Chains A and B, each alone.
Chain A
Amino acid sequence: MKWNGWGYSDSKFLYNKKGQAEFTGKRYRLSGMIIPGLREWMESTFGANLQHKTPAAPILNSSAVQPPTLNEAFLKELKSTGIPFSHDAEDRVFRSHGKAEKSLLMSTKQSSMFFADCHNDVVKIVELACKHNVCLMPYGGGTSVSSALECPPEETRSIVSLDTSQMLNESGYCTGHEPDSMEFSSLGGWVATRASGMKKNIYGNIEDLVVHIKMVTPQGVIEKSCQGPRMSTGPDVHHFIMGSEGTLGVVTEVTMKIRPMPEYQKYGSVVFPNFEMGVACLREVARQRCAPASIRLMDNEQFKFGHALKPQVSSIFTSFLDGLKKFYITKFKGFDPNRLCVATLLFEGDREKVLQHEKQVYDIAAKFGGLAAGEDNGQRGYMLTFVIAYLRDLGMDYYVIGESFETSVPWDRVLDICRNVKARIVRECKDKGVQFPPLSTCRVTQTYDAGACVYFYFAFNYRGLSDPVHVYEQVEHAAREEILANGGSLSHHHGVGKLRKEWMRETISSVGMGMLKSVKDYVDPNNIFGNRNLL
């Protein structure tokens, strides 16, 4: 795994000797393929140039890493328990951040890490941490994008990372929970951040999947006494745990619903003449409560982006077919290539039901001017969401800095928020002196009865800027302000971490803050779980 980038070390995008884009490795469907359109897309979208490569990032130098603040008494007692640990600089750096853009540029403060293997290990570690007043920061998959895993700069105690990655043990059945970070994120992390998965339409979000939670806190272990499907036993204490983002304790065991693997899976895609029609279609699908396992609508820029990521086709026949499709859609049906957008679909379940469902959805799409565009495009769309994070690393090599952010918003605000936030990003970049117009794009990724989840990407070429990180932070900040001003939420599933703390009070009100604080004060009065997320 990379310490300063996303994912596996062997998989990455690069430009080969011929100047073509390639995705290395063997793990993904896209691995080992040439992507002919990517270079041109990068050059025209960002004004990036293959000649302008950012100076290579320094190899991790152990001596450059801050020496740890050690709590000797704590370490001595813990070593005697036999729980594996490490003081290595590399291990520490690896666990001192998540995957948010600026995280990748930060330093480390942790002193050591302990690898817990089971619930009892965690109990021991937490007891000792309380006894010796050591700060504990749980670490699952390390995929946080809200600065949740960064060490708070004001923390003076010894910081110990509690790595739970050895505890995962999935088998057979599917939970159906598939966040984009699925390859690396952990179950405990999902619970701690109120995660949402791609197929929540069938399986539900984490709060719907969870049946039972066991968590170790400084006050002791919290768990309910039975596994009833629904209870009215006062406010649900699970909801103190879910979303607590590592501030209350460590989640050690979770009981989740599982479903039989689906008999049949089918991808699909629909092209709409413009974004407005696409959103209207999604709204209708939500209204009729017939959403497939997944339905995502991307805007025109993302459609072009997806197009640029098409791997080189091996057969002439395939490329001929592609050309024919393009002709049909643009010339014959009169779709404007600068306004059209695509929805990708995934159906899952019994074969017969899937086919019926599919017909229903395509019929609705047709009412909004949608044209079925084939399984292939749909499948590629989903495959891409797993590799997109790798693309950001490629961008960093060529002076392109970028990030994604998300929100949930009621149906009547979807169009306005998409337009206004994208325009705000463009304006802020212009005001801050970014030379080339930024990439500012969005997609509707989830539908609910009462609204939708919208995912934004923005990226810009920072060549010529004296302080690109500062500009980036300001743009991200302005984008979030614009989201909030247009009726969007602070986060749909990424969480708050430290990145979005400043808006918590206005989000849940002072009374709400007081409620959360009082829970924290009771459960962890000495702030042993001192990552300072949320509050």
Chain B
Amino acid sequence: MASEAVYSHRDPMLKKRDDFEDILEERRNSSDLRYALKCYTPVLYKGLTPCKVSELKQMVLQSDQLGYVITQVSKEKGMTTDEVTGEAAAILEEMAQRLQLSTVRFFAFTLSKVFKTLFRSICVNEEGLQRLQQAIHNHPVVLLPSHRSYMDFLLMSYILRTAKSLTPKLGLLNIVMDPFLKGEVFDISLVPVSISYERTLEEALYARELLGVPKPKESTSGLFKARKILSEDYGSIHVYFGQPVSVRSLAESRVNRSQFNLIPRHIPTRPSEEILSFVNDSAYRLVRAQEENMVLKPWVLLAFVLLQKQATEDKPGTALDELTEQAVWLRDLSRHYGAFLHWPEEIYNSFSFLRNMFSNEFILCPGATVQDFEEACYLLVKTGALQINQQEVLITERGHRTLAFLTSVLDPFLQGYQVVCRFLCEEQGTLKLNKVMLNSLEDTLGGKLPTQKSVVAHL
């Protein structure tokens, strides 16, 4: 008999998520070199005693934990402890960080250029980044990025310019939680990072893999050797830094930490059933947390629709209208199911575009786009012409008359521009104008033309 509800009915649509900012936009508007050379002042863990890499390596090599394992291995394999220590030192050399700011700056520069070519935007939730910085200051942080592309590693290092990323495999998660369970740190913050792609660089590789063609050895250099990639459009990437999860709060009332009281902590032991089950559950929760913040862009839903069509119908191809309608239906369904959609804001974008275009026709204060938009919405709602609910903007019954009137007022202006555009497209097909053309244009229209600059800008 179920004594309590297993599922609590919370409307997934009500889940609040942070806004995104496109970090490439800034890169497009300023110097990459300046960016790469800017001052590096990372947030540090408050309990950190800074030390050199060589000191760190020494500490590891001389630690009790490693000493114990070296003794065991040398017994088992019949080698001397010096030999085993040598092996350990070699592994450490390979693993250890070699943080050199010059390398970081080099990548900051080159990756900026590459990303700008490959992607339309890389959107990051700034609030999430700030939460991350706060967490870094208070507790050791472990990043758990989703892993769907080789690009993940580059992205993580590009955005954060900090430690290596970690894939959430259970063994690794066990190791990561160990210091907390043994009382060596007060708490650990696990930050799920959801990286959503519209199109991955290695899509062809994936496709071949699915068909049975063996995968070539993984290497990020291999990626970039295929230079023709640079001329392709890979759409946008969304990187969402989720809410940090405290390992202490996960473990409370699930793990009895006193189990480590009676044995020396540096001796590696099999984790108990209790701990294995705890880590397993935590891993699932964390992957779910990652998934919840994966972003769906229009292209992704379109792909869904196309694939389904492919499966059910024989004839290839679908009418654009039908496709659009299906996509919109799917979008609304997904929204109700709590999907994290990133849909272009059509209305505002159109408004913004038109406003720019008409900036010489009407008195429009520069920089007041948002205010004007909101004022317009407010007035239209006030006069009952529009109905705005959470997800949609609807035209009311009596709104039709108002809107028809307003659109007919703007129509002549719009037509003027349409004529100019049609003329330019037919005549030249390029954006360059010369005086001769302008004169002939003037004659055709028989009226005053908007200035040269604005026409160029808005075509």
Contact A506–B183 (Cβ < 8 Å): no
Q: Which residue of B lies closest to A276 (CB)?
A: B49
CA distance A413 to B47 in the complex (A): 17
> Is B55 interfacial (CB 8 A cutoff)?
no
Q: How far is the CB of B417 from chain A (nearest CB, A)?
A: 61
Instruction: Mark interface residues in B175-214 (1 if CB within 8 Å of A CB, else 0).
Output: 0000000011010000000000000000000000000000
For residue A148, CB closer than 8 A to chain B, the reply is no
Residues on the A chain within 8 Å of B265, using CB = 412
Task: Judge if B221 is at the interface, Cβ distance under 8 Å.
Answer: no
| Chain B positions within 8 Å of A413 at CB level | 183
B264 touches A487 (CB 8 A): no
Complex interface: chain B residues within 8 A of A506 (CB): 258
- Shortest beta-carbon distance from A232 to chain B in Å: 28
Contact present for A416 and B183 (CB under 8 Å): yes
Q: Pick the contact of B264: A412, A417, A423 (CB < 8 A).
A: A412
- Chain A, residues 422-435, CB within 8 Å of chain B (1/0): the string is 01100000000000
A485 at the interface (CB under 8 A from B): yes
Q: How far is the CB of B250 from chain A (nearest CB, A)?
A: 15
B residues near A417, Cβ cutoff 8 Å: 183
Q: Are A484 and B258 in contact (CB under 8 A)?
A: yes
- Asked if A79 is an interface residue, CB under 8 A from chain B, the answer is no
Give, as a whole number of angstroms, the nearest-CB distance from A121 to chain B.
45
Known: A412-B264, A412-B265. A485 touches B258 (CB 8 A): yes
User: Which residues of chain A are near B257, meaning CB under 8 Å?
Assistant: 485-486
Size of chain A's interface in residues, with CB distance under 8 A?
13
In the complex, residue of chain A having the shortest beta-carbon distance to the beta carbon of B182: A416
- Report A108-129 residues with CB < 8 Å from chain B CB: none
* B451 contacts partner chain A, Cβ-Cβ < 8 Å: no
C-alpha gap A412/B183 in the complex (Å):
11
Contact with B along A403-426 (1 / 0, CB 8 A): 000000000110011011001100
CA distance A333 to B258 in the complex (A): 41
Count of A-B residue pairs with CB < 8 Å: 25
| Complexed CA–CA distance, A101 and B260 (Å) | 32
Q: How far is the CA of A506 from the CA of B258 in the complex (A)?
A: 10
0 or 1 for each of B252-268: is its CB under 8 Å from A? (1 = yes) = 00001110110011000
A residues less than 8 Å from B256 (CB atoms): 485
Task: Give A413 to B265 CA distance when docked, in angstroms.
Answer: 9
Shortest CB-to-CB span from A11 to chain B, Å, is: 39
Q: Which residues from A are CB-within-8-Å of B186?
A: 419-420, 423-424
B184 touches A416 (CB 8 A): yes
Cβ < 8 Å to A, chain B residues 257-297:
257-258, 260-261, 264-265
Q: Please tell me if the beta carbons of B184 and A487 are within 8 angstroms of each other in the complex.
A: no
Interchain CB contact under 8 A, A486 and B183: yes
- Say whether A485 contacts B264, CB under 8 Å: no
Q: Inside 8 A of B260's CB, which chain A residues have their CB?
A: 487
Q: Report A183 CB to chain B, min CB distance, Å.
A: 36
Which partner residue on chain A sits nearest B266 by CB separation? A412
Complex CA gap A487/B263 in Å reads 10
Smallest CB–CB gap between A287 and chain B, Å?
16
Determine the distance from Cα of A409 to Cα of B31 in the docked complex, in whole angstroms.
58
**Residue in B183, B257, B258, B260 with the greatest tally of chain A CB atoms within 10 Å:** B183
Residues facing B in A484-518 (CB within 8 A) are 484-487, 506
Least Cβ distance of A306 to chain B in Å? 24
A: residues with CB less than 8 A from B are 412-413, 416-417, 419-420, 423-424, 484-487, 506
User: Which 9 pairs show the lowest CB-CB distances between chains A and B?
Assistant: A485-B257, A486-B183, A487-B261, A423-B186, A416-B183, A420-B186, A485-B258, A484-B258, A420-B183
B residues touching A (Cβ–Cβ < 8 Å)? 47, 183-184, 186, 256-258, 260-261, 264-265
Sample (23) of A-B pairs whose CB atoms are under 8 Å apart: A412-B264, A412-B265, A413-B183, A416-B183, A416-B184, A417-B183, A419-B47, A419-B186, A420-B183, A420-B186, A423-B186, A424-B186, A484-B261, A485-B183, A485-B256, A485-B257, A485-B258, A486-B183, A486-B257, A487-B258, A487-B260, A487-B261, A506-B258
Starting from the known contacts A413-B183, A416-B184, A417-B183, 6 additional A-B residue pairs (CB-CB under 8 Å) come to: A412-B265, A419-B186, A420-B186, A484-B261, A485-B257, A487-B260
